[in-house]
Amino acid sequence: MSANPLTKAEFELAGNAVSIRHFTRRFGETTVLRNLNLDIAPGEFVALLGHSGSGKSTLLRALAGLDTVEEGQIDRPSAVSVVFQEHRLLPWKNVTDNVTLGLDGKEWNAQAEAILHEVGLGHRLEAWPLTLSGGEAQRAALARALIREPKLLMLDEPFAALDALTRLRMQKLVLDLWKRHDCAVLLVTHDVDEALALADRALVLERGEIRTEVEIPLTRPRRHADPVFEALRERLLHALGVTS
Amino acid sequence: MVELVMNLFPARTASHQLSLSIGGLLRFCRRYLSVALVLVLWQAGAQAGLIPSRLLASPVQIVHTAWSLTLDHTLPQNLLVSLGRAGAGLVLGIAVGVALALVAGLSRVGEDIVDAPMQMARTLPALALVPLFILWFGIGELPKILLVALGVKFPVYLNLYKGIRSIDPKLIELAKTLGLSRWKIIRDIIIPGALPDLLVGIRFAVGISWLMLVVAEQVNADSGIGHMMMDAEDFLRTDIILVGLAVYAVLGLLSDQIVRLAEGRLLTWRGRTAVQGGTR
Ligand SMILES: Nc1ncnc2c1ncn2[C@@H]1O[C@H](COP(=O)(O)OP(=O)(O)OP(=O)(O)O)[C@@H](O)[C@H]1O
Ligand SMILES: [Mg+2]
């Protein structure tokens, strides 16, 4: 109608990787997400905190395109990837074939090999998923997400099932990958320390809305002993209803 | 999932494994020892005149008869005919069972149309249909092949359908986030995910195919192992009947072994697994 060359979606995104406006999600009578607004800048690392059942995964599913958006508007890049709490590797395909799942053409194999080396799985290219350790499987899932060069990478409690040591190692890996691949990241986590160690910004989802938003202006790698870190942590814990 | 992985890789200590293999060896010997003992007693009883050969031929006699039946081509010819029927019936039955399971497993409409009749029909003893099949299809090859196919279709259908339905919906969800088309979801996730169950179904199917064939060939046939046995009955040749039985037994064992071998080949990703349950 007008001479504006931008499509509606591009206009709404206006420099953001993700833009959510007035998004509401109901399951029958219960409203899980209510009139939610959220912008994520390109290359920004955002952590999403919240109690169990607060709707974190629901928001992620909508962003991933697994749910139809009925109320409100979600604009997101077409290249998005998700890593779930469980690795969700196909047990009947070896690691490389899992990483290239859905990508046609032999040329992807070299790509998969490179990215598997990058996540530290270069020695298990041909392995069956059932023979991988929990951490290795999650690395393969990360490789599968990254080979598509997503503009937005979503991680739904990807390390929750891992032991503390492996989790620390995976956090460092995610930071490295994020810097190298230059994508926006939305990390869902229960762990306040994890959010503070990784993200540029932490959000707390509560009763269907983002009630608390905390910028984390610290340089990485971050030290837990840092007084700023301590203060932010108090704020987030307080927002989550944990008082010490 | 965690449970599955634990089942696949049971933690075994070395000593546990050792005692297991020694125990296994002992059991192996015991099992075959008893078989050998029965054979020896049987032979001794026959030679002492305690077992009349009119009722039961002796083991030595059976081996001898099998050899002469092989030399005069009776056994190989009939065996070939039986194998042909079982093979044709198996192929047909597996094809129909797979097709029906795919229809029922991949669409709600298909499920409503196919599954209920199949669940009802499977309670019907297939062998009770023999008279009807003879009426409909005469006494040629067709009714025998169809009868085998009929029996084979059910375990294939039931197991594959169950396999398709029990695929982890999380994997399908993942495929959607990766943008896989419906066809690719079927090819890369549903089919390989249901393959273990399909193979269990086929193992049952192979066993059933021999059962159906025995009956079909004994009721009406002028060739095949079953016919050879019925013929022998008229002349009180228990040795030939027992040769037929032995052939069926060997065929059953062999075909089961072949399917297991195929399982090992096709399901390498599972590692070493315990025997899975199935639906007959
Ligand atoms: N398909 C569904 N049908 C009905 N209710 C649902 C459905 N999916 C989620 N819910 C409900 O929506 C609410 C939010 O669920 P969601 O999975 O988003 O929580 P979460 O914040 O991810 O929790 P957790 O931290 O435990 O993973 C829960 O109360 C859940 O019961
Ligand atoms: Mg969740």
Protein residue with its CA nearest to atom 27 in ligand 1: A52
The two three-digit tokens of residue A159, written as one number: 């390390």
d(CA A69, CA A81): 18
Q: Which ligand is nearest to the CA of A32?
A: 1
Contact B194, B167 (CB under 8 A): yes
| Residues in Cβ contact with B100 at an 8 Å cutoff, skipping those fewer than 6 apart | B114, B118, B153, B157, B161
Ordered by where they begin, the domains of chain A are: 80-148 (3.40.50.300)
pLDDT digits (tens, 9 = 90+) for A99-147: 999 898 889 999 999 999 999 999 999 999 999 999 999 999 999 999 9
- Which residues in chain A are contacts of B196 at CB distance < 8 A? none
d(CA A125, CA A95): 6
pLDDT given at position B14: 45
pLDDT given at position A12: 54
d(CA B209, CA B126): 11
Spell out which chain B residues touch chain A, with contact meaning CB-CB distance below 8 angstroms: 1, 5, 8-9, 170-171, 173-180, 184, 188-189, 192-193, 195, 267-271
The two three-digit tokens of residue B118, written as one number: 């199949």
Statement: residue A22 has pLDDT above 90: yes
Comparing CB atoms, the residue among B8, B180, B193 nearest residue A130 is B8
Q: Which residue, among B191, B270, B194, has the nearest Cα to A128 in the 3D structure? A: B270
Interface test with B, best of A68, A81, A85, A92 (most B CBs within 10 A): A92
d(CA B56, CA B23): 36
d(CA B75, CA B225): 8
The domain locations on chain B are: 2-47, 59-270
Interface test with A, best of B269, B270, B272, B273 (most A CBs within 10 A): B269
Residue A5: φ, ψ to 5°: -75, -15
Q: How far is the CA of A156 from the centre of ligand 2 (A)?
A: 7
pLDDT given at position B76: 94
Burial class (CB in 10 A: 0-12, 13-18, 19+), A125: middle
Confidence of residue A11 (pLDDT cuts 50, 70, 90): low
What is the torsion angle, in degrees rounded to the nearest 10, for the CA atoms of residue B89, residue B90, residue B96 and residue B97? 140
pLDDT tens track of chain B, all 280 residues? Answer: 333 433 444 444 444 555 667 877 888 788 788 889 999 999 999 999 898 888 899 999 999 999 999 999 999 999 999 999 999 999 999 999 999 999 999 999 999 999 999 999 988 888 888 888 889 998 889 999 999 999 999 999 999 999 999 999 999 999 999 999 999 999 999 999 999 999 999 999 999 999 899 888 888 788 999 999 999 988 889 999 999 999 999 998 899 899 999 999 999 998 765 445 566 6
Search chain B and give the residue with CA nearest A128.
Answer: B269
Q: Which residue, among B87, B78, B35, has the nearest Cα to B247 in the 3D structure? A: B78
Protein residue with its CA nearest to atom 1 in ligand 1: A27
pLDDT given at position B176: 94
Q: How far is CA B224 from the centre of its chain?
A: 19
A18-27/A71-75 β-pairing: antiparallel
Q: What angle do CA B213, B217, B221 make, to 5 degrees?
A: 145
Contact A96, A112 (CB under 8 A): yes
Protein residue with its CA nearest to atom 26 in ligand 1: A52
Over residues A21-48, mean pLDDT: 95
- CATH number assigned to the domain with residue range B59-270, chosen from the 4 options 3.90.650.10, 1.10.3720.10, 3.30.1360.200, 3.40.640.10: 1.10.3720.10
> Does A27 contact ligand 1 (Cβ within 6 A)?
yes
DSSP states of A139-180: HHHHHHHHTT--SEEEEESTTTTS-HHHHHHHHHHHHHHHHH
Over residues A173-201, mean pLDDT: 95
Protein residue with its CA nearest to atom 2 in ligand 1: A27
If DSSP codes are grouped into helix, strand and coil, which group holds residue A232?
helix
Check CB contact under 8 Å for A92 and B177. Answer: no
d(CA B101, CA B103): 5
The distance of A6 to chain B (nearest Cα, Å) reads 26
pLDDT digits (tens, 9 = 90+) for A41-56: 999 999 999 999 999 9
Cα separation values, A78 from A10, A148, B112, Å:
12, 11, 37
Residue A45: φ, ψ to 5°: -110, 110
d(CA B81, CA B232): 17
| Total-model pTM | 0.83
Tell me, what's the ipTM? 0.88
Q: Which residue, among A176, A184, A192, A179, has the nearest Cα to A224 in the 3D structure? A: A192
> Does A53 contact ligand 1 (Cβ within 6 A)?
yes
